[in-house]
Amino acid sequence: MKKGDFVLLAVTGVLLGLVIFIVFFKPNAGFATVYEDGTVIASFPLNTDITEKIETQDGHYNILKISGGEVSVLEADCKNQICVNTRPVKRIGDSIICLPHKISIVLEKDRKE
Amino acid sequence: MKKTAYLGMFLAISLILSYVESILPVTAPIPGIKLGLANCAILVLLYLYGPWEAILVNVARVTLSAFMFNGLFSLLYSLSGAILSFLIMFLLYRKKKTFSPVGIGMLGGVFHNIGQIIMAFAVTHVKGLIYYLPFLLASGLVTGFIIGFLTKLLLPYLKKTILVKNDNPNKEE
């Protein structure tokens, strides 16, 4: 190996570390926005703990819980229960998605209307 | 004329390496991680013959192996990865006094995966692809390093063989 190789190794190593940092260390989110079929239907601040029932247009529901800045779905009347089994999320860009109800809960920095 | 025959031989070798790789059981948890064995043949070509010959064989290899082993859909991804990776290897090769095949192979591996992910993003527009990036970069780094090291070990033997020497006296160092 030549000198340039070590430089390359060091540079790519540092860049890799940077990429990992940027991709995985996201700041905590401020709001949880609830989308139904792509349109915003509700938005909740993460600094207040609430439990809220979200009703969809076709009569189903998901029960959303915000506690300590973390969002989870307690209960839903969908078949697969994937949203219920999703771990609590808290960082910007995280999401909980309920495909059967076309509901997605996306964590964002600011409130969406 | 002789050169054409050798380039054909290298194409065959790189295709076989592609094939071997496509039948190896992949244990990596992330799709897209592979060893890049064929790149070894391309890197050798770059050193023994030069960039023009290497890119020619590389493009032919990617196209043919897509037809034969991996399916046409993979052509887009393989081609973008192969071309980007070749460009960076070529740039480093021009400064070969500073960089050895190890470093060149390493960056080749990294940029191969960058090229693939750029193409994947262009096709699917899925933002979540960015989560693959660290894994693909790290794996490109490691596999590229291995490939570069293999090439470094191979080169002295290949340079000694009569067939390459007689055919291409100017490229000898």
ipTM: 0.71
Cβ distance B134 to A19 less than 8 Å, yes or no, reads yes
- Partner residue facing A5 (CB), from B102, B110, B134: B102
| Residue of B100, B149, B153, B155 to mutate when probing chain A, most A C-beta within 10 A | B100
- Nearest one of B23, B13, B43 to B150, comparing CA atoms: B43
Reported as a single tens digit per residue, the pLDDT across A21-46 is: 887 787 888 899 999 888 899 899 99
Domains of chain A: 31-108 (2.60.320.10)
Average confidence (pLDDT) over B141-164: 85
- Give the global pTM: 0.68
- Nearest one of A9, A17, A108 to B134, comparing CA atoms: A17
Measured CB to CB, residues of chain B less than 8 Å from chain A are 92, 95, 97-100, 102-103, 106-107, 110, 130-131, 133-134, 137-138, 141
Q: Is the CB of residue B113 less than 8 Å from the CB of residue B139?
A: yes
Reported as a single tens digit per residue, the pLDDT across B59-97 is: 999 999 888 877 777 788 889 999 999 999 999 999 888
For B102, phi and psi rounded to 5 degrees? -65, -50
Cβ distance A8 to B107 less than 8 Å, yes or no, reads yes
Reported as a single tens digit per residue, the pLDDT across B86-138 is: 999 999 999 888 899 999 999 999 999 999 889 888 888 877 778 788 888 88
**Where residue B173 falls among pLDDT bands split at 50, 70, 90?**
very low
Domains of chain B: 2-166 (1.10.1760.20)
Cβ distance B107 to A3 less than 8 Å, yes or no, reads no
